[in-house]
């Protein structure tokens, strides 16, 4: 699997402890917890109810008005209590997935991330 696609809802935005960074959390496919950092000036999700997360091996097309895109690296994969946690860094901004899902990622895999507002 070279692509992981998830549809997410229950979007919540809180201020991170890091200045000018928002922390966005959502529930994907009713079972996976998504958390990601975004610079407040780049946060296009303020009025969003649903998003689509794609983790890809090839660079996607991105629309700056509806997509949050970046290139990063998988830097941690752990399993505990039947749940997988995958951490991806995009220039220091972290994307965290936690839940029961299939993936084909390895530590230090170069990935592209696109998070798209769908409503």
| Residues 20-67: tens digit of each pLDDT | 999 999 999 989 999 999 999 999 999 999 999 999 999 999 998 889
The domains located in the chain, with CATH, are 3-117 (2.40.50.140)
**Mind listing the pLDDT tens digit for each residue in 76-104?**
999 988 899 999 999 999 999 999 988 88
Strand 32-39 to 51-56 pairing: unpaired
What pLDDT does residue 2 have?
65
Kindly provide the residue ranges of all beta strands, DSSP E only, lying in the chain, ordered along the sequence. Answer: 3-15, 21-28, 32-39, 51-56, 67-80, 83-90, 93-99, 110-117
What pLDDT does residue 64 have?
86
């Amino acid at each position: 699997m070279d692509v992981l696609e998830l549809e997410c809802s229950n979007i919540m935005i809180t201020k991170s402890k890091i200045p000018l960074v928002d922390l966005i959390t959502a529930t994907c496919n009713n079972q996976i917890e998504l958390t990601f950092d975004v610079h407040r000036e780049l946060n296009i999700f303020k009025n969003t109810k649903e998003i689509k997360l794609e983790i890809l091996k090839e660079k996607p097309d991105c629309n700056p008005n509806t997509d949050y895109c970046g290139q990063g690296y998988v830097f941690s994969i752990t399993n505990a209590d039947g749940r997988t946690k995958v951490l991806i860094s995009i220039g220091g901004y972290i994307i965290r997935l936690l839940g029961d899902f299939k993936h084909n990622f390895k530590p230090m895999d170069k990935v592209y991330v696109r998070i798209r507002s769908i409503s």
